[in-house]
Amino acid sequence: MTARQELSITLDAVIFAVTDDAPRVLTVGDDRPSLPSGPLELDQHPTLERGIRQFVADQAGLALGYVEQLYTFGDRARQETGPRALSIAYLALLREGAATLPGAIWRNVYAFLPWEDWRDGPPEMIGAQIVPALDQWAAAHPSRGERLAQCFGIAGRPWNRERVLERYELMWEAGLLAENGGKGDVGLAMARDHRRMLATALGRLRGKLKYRPVVFELLPSTFTLSELQNCVEALAGRSLHTQNFRRLIAEAQLVAPTGASVQQNRGRPASLYSFRREVLNERPAPGVAMPRNGG
């Protein structure tokens, strides 16, 4: 009979906001930022979700709104010593508010995953740094070359904005990231495998944009169409054609005019809209229509 294996269980929160047209994630700590997390206490946490809400309140002074379970991370390589560590991660969305406790900081998601922000075109680091290093790593292994082409949109393949985790894992395997012995110049590192959790969450969120109206969790109750577009672009990491975007929003009947407007810095006042919650009962997948991944 084998000895019983020790197991520790933690709850981790990937909390997104969009502020000043940038996707932001709540972190704690300064050296290698981590996500809000804590050990599951069987006698204190009646549900997993209540446990993660309590940790975020204790570590950042924030109350979560939208929360969904993201993924369970349990690879043996998550830590070098100690009992096997199992982490149940959650994705949360809210409007950015002041983190009232020391050490809790909102940071730009693309500071950790800079190759994912294509709003101004392909990031220079992909062609100058990442792909050449991955080419060298994949040279003797045809299967690696195929994964590289699929993940980074080379050799005639389109860039798929949702394959965030696959790109991160490819770079991790190749030793390009500080978390796995790299030089640490490919985005900011995070504690433990928290950057992998962040990549998982961003990919999940990009996919959900198409079939769930999650973007409205990140906006105020009334907003302009430009604010809505900027929020979608920030999460998708791609710029969208304004007229096409507005046509798709109108066809989807996701928003309704409020009759009010707001004066912007220049030009005519912009009309204010609100999310049509009735759409949740009108069809099963009321998301924001997006152009093809390669477009």
Q: At what angle do helices 142-152 and 131-138 cross, to 10 degrees?
A: 160
Per residue of the chain (295 residues), give pLDDT as tens. Answer: 344 567 889 999 999 999 999 999 999 987 789 999 999 887 788 899 999 999 999 999 999 999 999 999 987 665 556 677 899 999 999 999 877 788 899 999 999 999 999 999 999 999 999 999 999 999 988 889 999 999 999 888 999 999 999 999 999 999 999 999 898 899 999 998 999 999 999 999 999 999 999 999 999 999 999 999 999 999 999 999 999 999 999 999 999 999 999 988 777 899 999 999 999 999 888 888 776 544 4
Tell me the C-alpha distance between 100 and 105, whole Å.
9
- Element spanning 106, H or E: strand 104-108
Do 77 and 128 belong to one domain? no
pTM confidence score = 0.93
CATH of the domain at 48: 3.90.79.10
Do 161 and 240 belong to one domain? no
Count of domains forming the chain? 3
Residue 136, Cβ neighbours under 10 Å: how many?
A: 10
Do 102 and 23 belong to one domain? yes
List all residues 6 or more positions away from 193 whose beta carbon is below 8 Å from its beta carbon.
Answer: 73, 75, 78, 87, 179
Do 161 and 104 belong to one domain? no
Residue at 202 is within a domain: no
Tell me the C-alpha distance between 200 and 208, whole Å.
12
Q: Which of 200, 203, 208 is nearest to 87 (CA)?
A: 200
Tell me the C-alpha distance between 272 and 262, whole Å.
7
Residue at 120 is within a domain: yes
Q: What is the DSSP letter of 172?
A: H
Q: Which of 94, 81, 104, 83 is nearest to 35 (CA)?
A: 104
Compute CA 120 distance to the chain's CA centroid, rounded to the nearest angstrom.
Answer: 19
Residue at 287 is within a domain: no
Residue at 96 is within a domain: yes
CATH of the domain at 221: 1.10.10.10
Do 103 and 166 belong to one domain? no
Do 236 and 179 belong to one domain? no
Domain, as residue range, for 277: 212-282
Do 15 and 72 belong to one domain? yes
